[in-house]
Chain A
Amino acid sequence: GNSVTQMEGPVTLSEEAFLTINCTYTATGYPSLFWYVQYPGEGLQLLLKATKADDKGSNKGFEATYRKETTSFHLEKGSVQVSDSAVYFCALSDPHTGGFKTIFGAGTRLFVKA
């Protein structure tokens, strides 16, 4: 079945450091891929998405590229801020299996120190 695997956290970085959070997926079809962010005490917010191979999603300085050949969708940011501290979830939705649900990875907690 479909699944998402992302790197375990927590990830601790200093402000202005480069961020990479790895995400790989398994899907029977050609899924849409997402990154969601969950700030402390809040719900999930869509950060960015990509719906087909080689698409790059970007938002708020974060970006991720849909790589079909490596089944990956790694999240990157060139210079993190303290306000980026949150839990980041990689996710997929596969229209070939109905597409009525989103499958989430386990989440990666990011701490950014001033």
Chain B
Amino acid sequence: EPEVTQTPSHQVTQMGQEVILRCVPISNHLYFYWYRQILGQKVEFLVSFYNNEISEKSEIFDDQFSVERPDGSNFTLKIRSTKLEDSAMYFCASSAREPSTDTQYFGPGTRLTVL
């Protein structure tokens, strides 16, 4: 069964550094998402991406965050200058259609630790 993959599985970085989290969505999917889960807390929506542009973003997704689909297969989340509170598990997801009508498939996550 096709699956969403994410790399790396764990990223450790110093506060103020830039990080790029990578995702390979399922190949025929058109909608892409990033969510995060701070340890022990709920899963929070960050951003959705369709047709090469952001379709929706949350208040968490400020100017420090950006997303890109650089080559038609990867989908990346960049955090420009990491803060301690960015430490979380970041999940990528994809769907063939919008999530209200279609299943979102989630990757295994990247655990980001900011020191």
Report which A residues bind B (CB closer than 8 A): 31-32, 36, 42-46, 49, 51, 89, 91, 93-95, 98-107
* Shortest Cβ distance from residue A90 to the other chain B in the assembled complex, whole angstroms: 10
Q: Does B48 contact A (CB under 8 A)?
A: yes
Q: Which of A42, A43, A49, A99 counts the most B-chain CB atoms under 10 A from its CB?
A: A43
Q: Which of B14-22, B36-44, B68-76, B79-87 is near enough to bind chain A?
A: B36-44
**Do B55 and A98 touch (CB < 8 A)?**
yes
The chain B residue sitting closest to A109, CB to CB, is B40
Interchain CB contact under 8 A, B50 and A100: yes
Shortest Cβ gap from B100 to chain A (Å):
4
* Interface residue range, chain B: 20 to 34
A101 B101 Cβ-Cβ under 8 A: no
Q: Is A100's CB under 8 angstroms from B56's CB?
A: yes
Contact B91 A100 (CB under 8 A): no
Q: Which residues of B contact A100 (CB under 8 A)?
A: 31, 33, 48, 50, 55-56, 98-99
Interface residue from A43, A49, A98, A103 paired with B106 (Cβ < 8 Å): A43
CB < 8 Å: which of B41, B101, B109 contacts A32?
A: B101
The answer to whether the Cβ of B52 comes within 8 Å of any Cβ in the partner chain is no
Residues of B that sit less than 8 Å from A by CB: 4, 31, 33, 35, 41-45, 48, 50, 55-56, 58, 91, 93, 98-101, 103-109
* Residues from chain A with Cβ under 8 Å of B42 in the complex: 89, 104-107
Within 8 Å by CB of B45, from A44, A51, A89, A101, lies A101
Within the complex, the shortest CB–CB distance from B9 to chain A, in Å, comes to 10
In the assembled complex, the Cα of A44 lies from the Cα of B91 at a distance in Å of 9
Chain A residues within 8 Å of B108, by CB: 42-43
Task: Decide if A99 touches B101 in the complex (CB within 8 Å).
Answer: yes
Instruction: List chain B residues, Cβ under 8 A from A42.
Output: 108
Are A49 and B43 in contact, CB atoms less than 8 angstroms apart? no
In contact, B100 and A31 (Cβ under 8 angstroms): yes
Are A44 and B100 in contact, CB atoms less than 8 angstroms apart? no
